[in-house]
Amino acid sequence: MQSFKGKLAVVTGGGTGMGRELVRKLCAAGADVAMCDVSAENMAETEALCAKDNPHKAKVSSHLCDVADRASMEAFRDATLAAHKRDHVNLLFNNAGIGGGGSFINDTEEEWQRCFTVCWDGVYNGARAFMPLLVASSEGHIINTSSVNGFWASLGNGVAHTSYSAAKFAVKGFTEALINDCRLNAPHVGVSLVMPGHIGTSIALNSGKILGRGTALELSAEDVQAAREMMLERGLPVGNVPDDHIRAAIHQRAVDFRDKAPTSAGQAADIILNGVLENRWRILVGEDAHELDRLVRSDPEQAYEQSLVEKMYAAGHFGELVNTVGSEEANL
């Protein structure tokens, strides 16, 4: 695929973060875009941003959709074809994801499953719904977002991270298997696996809402107590800190995850789109992703030892990812 102009792109999770930036940049490049999200308000903001930079008058449509639900995804597919008056799509970005379900032992099965189904079933449902339409195009490309947690199932030794990591490993394996499948059965359809490191997105801010806990500022007393206990275990003197201060601290960590990331969502979108145009199947996003990939591959037996984290620190990575995000990703 030499250009996005005139193509029809589908982007899940287009309301914020990398999804929003993918929609914006595809639109600016002349692609028509159908995006879905669980927030109509967030998609309206994305559409407004697209309107400011749309030199080719590309069409952008928004669709409410829960990617974890097969029927919802199929309805999104049908609405996309109707809105854009097409019988095929050219690009599918299975991008939507949330955090949660950090501990298989301590967290509820409902929360664990919700994170897993959004992050894995969302990719599977997207591929099932739209793959026939990619095959029906003269040139197509499927882009699945995994994570560095698709090859390193951790956020550091102090934080459990099971549901998200399991889902992202599944996305990685499925996408790599699709490479040969498409070469055999749909050679005009390209495949790319995206593995971002720490990207400045709102995933830590939004996950609690989708999981039914509300924002960090709305955490229950029970959740605040769990957060307090984890902070105490990490040596933070929060024993007598008021609950609202704990809530504010967790909220600020989620904000810092977005605003202090080493790679912005816009930069990530550029890397992804350039990778698609270069027909690369393996797209690492961020210097931290490249370094972590190198370390895990060079000594797999040490992947879950403190020595790996120390090497990442020494290389100038992980400061914000482990220290800032840890408690939020552990469902505080």
Number of domains in the chain: 1
DSSP state of 117: I
Q: What is the dihedral of CA 233, 237, 239, 243, to 10 degrees?
A: -100
Closest CA to 322 of 143, 112, 148: 148
On whether residue 258 sits in a domain, the answer given is no
Structure tokens at 86: 């097409």
On whether residue 318 sits in a domain, the answer given is no
Q: Give the model's pLDDT for residue 235.
A: 76
**140, 190 contact by CB (below 8 A):** yes
On whether residue 46 sits in a domain, the answer given is yes
On whether residue 51 sits in a domain, the answer given is yes
Question: Residue 311 is inside which H or E element, if any?
Answer: helix 306-314
User: Is residue 313 annotated as a catalytic residue, yes or no?
Assistant: no
Catalytic residue among 124, 164, 304, 313: 164
Q: Give the model's pLDDT for residue 324.
A: 40
The CA distance from 303 to 299, in Å, is 7
**Helix, strand, or coil here: 200?**
strand
- Phi and psi at residue 282, in whole multiples of 5°? -120, 110
**Helix, strand, or coil here: 35?**
strand
The CA distance from 104 to 272, in Å, is 32
On whether residue 43 sits in a domain, the answer given is yes
Residue 66: C-alpha distances to residues 93, 114, 224, 299, 317 (Å): 15, 11, 28, 39, 34
H runs (alpha helix) in 186-242: 203-210, 221-233
- pTM here is 0.88
- CATH code of residue 128: 3.40.50.720
On whether residue 292 sits in a domain, the answer given is yes
Structure tokens at 289: 């992703």
Range of the domain at 287: 8-202+263-300
Q: Give the model's pLDDT for residue 125.
A: 98
Mean pLDDT (10-residue bins), the chain, 332 residues: 97 97 98 98 98 97 98 98 98 96 94 97 98 98 98 92 98 98 98 95 57 69 76 76 76 66 92 98 98 98 96 88 39 34
**Helix, strand, or coil here: 112?**
helix
Provide, for the chain, the percentages of residues in helix, strand and coil under a 3-state DSSP scheme, each rounded to the nearest 5: 55, 15, 35
Q: Give the model's pLDDT for residue 332.
A: 33
The CA distance from 282 to 176, in Å, is 9
On whether residue 216 sits in a domain, the answer given is no
On whether residue 274 sits in a domain, the answer given is yes
**143, 194 contact by CB (below 8 A):** yes
Q: Give the model's pLDDT for residue 207.
A: 52
**Helix, strand, or coil here: 115?**
helix
